[in-house]
Structure 1
Amino acid sequence: MSTWVPGAAGSLFDLDNLPFGVFSPRGQAARVGVRIGDQVMDAGAVASYGRESLQPGDGPDLMPLWQQPSLNAFLAAGRETWDVARDWLVEVLGNEVHAERTRPHLYPVGEVDLHLPVEVADYVDFYCSEQHATNVGRMFRPDGDALTPNWKHLPIGYHGRAGTIVVSGTPVQRPSGQGRPSADGGPPPFGPSRRLDIEAELAFVVGTPTDLGTSVHTSGFADHVFGVTPLNDWSARDIQAWEYVPLGPFLGKSFATSISPWITPLAALEAAKTLLPPQDPPPLPYLEVDERGGYDIDFEVLLNGEVVSRPPYASMYWSPAQMLAHLTVNGASLRTGDVFASGTISGDEREQRGSFLELSWGGAEPFTAGGRERTFLEDGDEVVLRATALGALGGRIGLGEVSGRVTPAL
């Protein structure tokens, strides 16, 4: 099936994608939208047609779920509703019989305001790339093992700050904090971070909640997770290096985390499923996952408009289903709007490293961007993350992009 929306067929936002977001036409209230090509469809307005003829057993009433300033009500409705909605969208945007009544509710994406798509409940960030963990271990523990003893037995993570997740385009203010004291003693220095960094990650958005005391097996992943969005985990490495022992990241991470305004449904990523890398030793039974537990998603990291890295998500050691199973195995509950992220995505090659910490090897081996040597972020720098995957129609689908520009510390 092909879409009747001009310019959408064959684009990154064709019928095989249909990501959800929250938008507002200038001066109007925020509501749920679906992207098709370079247009945003007001989903609730179109769903209102024929609503009065709905009968018991006809399926969910989508209009009230979409006339909301966030996706949370729709996400909470569960997988059956998500599937019905996707089939309905494909029909509406793929069959020209619906064009006349739908066309007035299409808005050019460049002429609307895009908002944070979900009210974030909890945020967990994992550490699931073996290449990234190995690189960091070699830098920080040059005389020891690169990986900690637990790394290949469980997906390591930490609980982050949900309140500072921001939508793409939000400026990122350089954080201030304590750094490591000098070798000759004295108090820790305090001031703006001098080693501000990024981390290219993929985030997963939870729709269906669970009760406290229950857990989600890896086979239940798609029943609880609605979709994905690229994520930039901004990181102040000097603050992080001083604070993280013994309890892990805190102020070095919590000042800002950026996500795309678009949430791509898992249903759009079926063609992108791929084999995980070999897991040795075999994971414990609660972490066992079917053989196509990974996703073949290509990332690009742009610094001031120039591509400096292309991290491959297919290289990730731990799958998202394993992340979710581990997150809940102790009985921790899920809430609608929970976000959990993969950790930095890095591949085997230097040009596949998903952080500037790795690209510059801790600042010791600068990389080139803009015709000069670079290490960590400077005020005024803009970072953009892009991601694409194979779609069901044989082309690529876009997962949206995440941008942020660094502003000076106060």
Structure 2
Amino acid sequence: MATRNFSDFYCSLEHTVNCTKLLLGKTDINRNWYTVPMVYNGRTSSLVVSGTPVHRPCGVFPSEKSNGKPTFQPEIHMDFELEMGVFLSKPLERGQRLDINSCRDHIFGFVLLNDWSARQIQLFEMAPLGPFHSKGSGTSISPWIVTAEALELAMCPRVTPQTVPPPRHLTRSEDLDATYDIELSVKIQRNGQSFTVCESNLNELYWTPLQQLTHLASAGEGLSTGDILGTGTISSSRTNDKGEKSGLGCLFERKDPANRLSSVPNDLADTFLMDGDWVVFEGWCRNPETKKVLFGFGTCKGQLLPAVPL
């Protein structure tokens, strides 16, 4: 795919609730989040295929090592984000808007996507404009694109209801809640051990990929063949048999003591990813009624390497 544009969304209710609490100390989400899908434009130079290592990035942020002074230094809280990528096929001319009832015609297929995130850099640079270098070190995607035709077998209604009626351009006359039953998991491999740190499903997003794509083209900027969008972190509110939240799609959300997972090392939410760690995503399309696995996406994996020396 010759990719000219990459946009990344912020569309999981569970993820947004957790991040709002951790970042702002409140539980109320901004009203605009419920009105339209939140999204920012990334850079295609960060895209790498599964198996490509990612170096710990350097950026500016305050730390204990720098006595609280913003300093250019290696990131200390490196994270993953569980997402899916949507590749586009049919272009849309600039100045036109996409009709949600025909947006599926523009989708070529889906891949697994890891939006590697440097959290300390992100916290320092994000306000008031948004993330930049914190998302630039790597965006890993699985090597095989599962086509839109194959995905039809896994089409299903959304699980998370939309509590506020969406605006007209995001309301389908048919299949309003159409999304896909794609079960996802994340493992971290460290020192010969493997820990499952997330189990989630694409159908638990608040905003569906069809709504995301329609909104992406709603201002008339057009679409290009080969473009990719990231669905945003796919966090689920599901719990395991111990009542622990097992569906959180990044380590940052586990900084909340209420979100710790006993099956992983206690310090994982404090150390984040360590040099040498492998992050491995897997995904399976399922029959929405029987939950039988139909086919998989392969793996999306990458190893975190030390920062390039300053």
**2:162 corresponds to 1:279:** yes
**2:47 corresponds to 1:162:** no
The amino acid that maps onto 1:303 is I
Instruction: Tell me what 1:374 maps to.
Output: 268
User: After the TM superposition, which of the residue ranges 278-287 and 256-265 deviates more from structure 2?
Assistant: 278-287
**C-alpha distance in 2, partners of 1:389/1:171?**
27
Instruction: Provide, for residues 351-395 of structure 1, a one-character-per-residue CA deviation record: whole Å limited to 9, x for no partner.
Output: 10000111343x897545665631200000000000001259964
Pick aligned residue for 1:320 from 194, 209, 224: 209
> Does the 8 A contact of 1:243 with 1:250 survive in 2?
yes
Residue pairs, 1:43-62, within 5 angstroms: none
**C-alpha distance in 1, partners of 2:5/2:185?**
27
Pick aligned residue for 1:245 from 124, 127, 139: 127
Give 1:312 deviation, angstroms. 1.9
The amino acid that maps onto 1:312 is N
More relative contact order, 1 or 2 (CA 8 Å, 6+ apart): 2
**C-alpha distance in 1, partners of 2:258/2:120?**
15
Instruction: Provide, for residues 273-325 of structure 1, a one-character-per-residue CA deviation record: whole Å limited to 9, x for no partner.
Output: 12123212101110103234121111000000332210222110001111111
**C-alpha distance in 2, partners of 1:221/1:323?**
10
> Does the 8 A contact of 1:232 with 1:258 survive in 2?
yes
> TM-score if structure 2 supplies the norm length?
0.88
The 1:234–1:190 alpha-carbon spacing in structure 2 relative to 1, beyond 3 Å, is same
Residue pairs, 1:231-270, within 5 angstroms: 231-270=113-152
Greater Rg by CA: 1
**2:279 corresponds to 1:383:** yes
> Does the 8 A contact of 1:269 with 1:390 survive in 2?
no
**2:246 corresponds to 1:351:** yes
- Structure 2, unmatched stretches of 5+, are 239-244
**C-alpha distance in 1, partners of 2:145/2:215?**
23
Pick aligned residue for 1:176 from 58, 61, 82: 58
| Number of residue pairs aligned between Structure 1 and Structure 2 | 290
User: After the TM superposition, which of the residue ranges 386-395 and 257-266 deviates more from structure 2?
Assistant: 386-395
User: After the TM superposition, which of the residue ranges 184-193 and 260-269 deviates more from structure 2?
Assistant: 184-193
Instruction: Tell me what 1:224 maps to.
Output: 106
**C-alpha distance in 2, partners of 1:322/1:204?**
12
Instruction: Tell me what 1:342 maps to.
Output: 231
Residue pairs, 1:9-408, within 5 angstroms: 118-142=1-25, 144-180=26-62, 187-276=69-158, 277-289=160-172, 290-304=175-189, 305-349=194-238, 350-361=245-256, 367=261, 373-375=267-269, 376-390=272-286, 395-408=293-306
> Does the 8 A contact of 2:6 with 2:41 survive in 1?
yes
**C-alpha distance in 2, partners of 1:369/1:258?**
26
Instruction: Provide, for residues 242-289 of structure 1, a one-character-per-residue CA deviation record: whole Å limited to 9, x for no partner.
Output: 001111110000111000000001111112112123212101110103
Give 1:185 deviation, angstroms. 8.5
- Superposed CA RMSD in Å reads 2.2
**C-alpha distance in 1, partners of 2:223/2:248?**
31
> Does the 8 A contact of 1:202 with 1:342 survive in 2?
yes
> Does the 8 A contact of 1:367 with 1:373 survive in 2?
no
Q: What's the % identity of the aligned pairs?
A: 36
For the residue of structure 2 that corresponds to 1:151, the secondary structure is: helix
The amino acid that maps onto 1:129 is S
Moved over 2 A (4+): 184-187, 289-292, 363-373, 391-396
> Does the 8 A contact of 2:197 with 2:264 survive in 1?
no
> Does the 8 A contact of 1:179 with 1:188 survive in 2?
yes
> TM-score if structure 1 supplies the norm length?
0.67
The 1:146–1:190 alpha-carbon spacing in structure 2 relative to 1, beyond 3 Å, is farther
The 1:309–1:396 alpha-carbon spacing in structure 2 relative to 1, beyond 3 Å, is same
The 1:336–1:234 alpha-carbon spacing in structure 2 relative to 1, beyond 3 Å, is same
Instruction: Tell me what 1:100 maps to.
Output: none
The amino acid that maps onto 1:133 is T
For the residue of structure 1 that corresponds to 2:301, the secondary structure is: strand
> Does the 8 A contact of 2:63 with 2:69 survive in 1?
yes
The 1:320–1:189 alpha-carbon spacing in structure 2 relative to 1, beyond 3 Å, is same
Instruction: Provide, for residues 90-136 of structure 1, a one-character-per-residue CA deviation record: whole Å limited to 9, x for no partner.
Output: xxxxxxxxxxxxxxxxxxxxxxxxxxxx2221000001101101110
- Structure 1, unmatched stretches of 5+, are 1-117
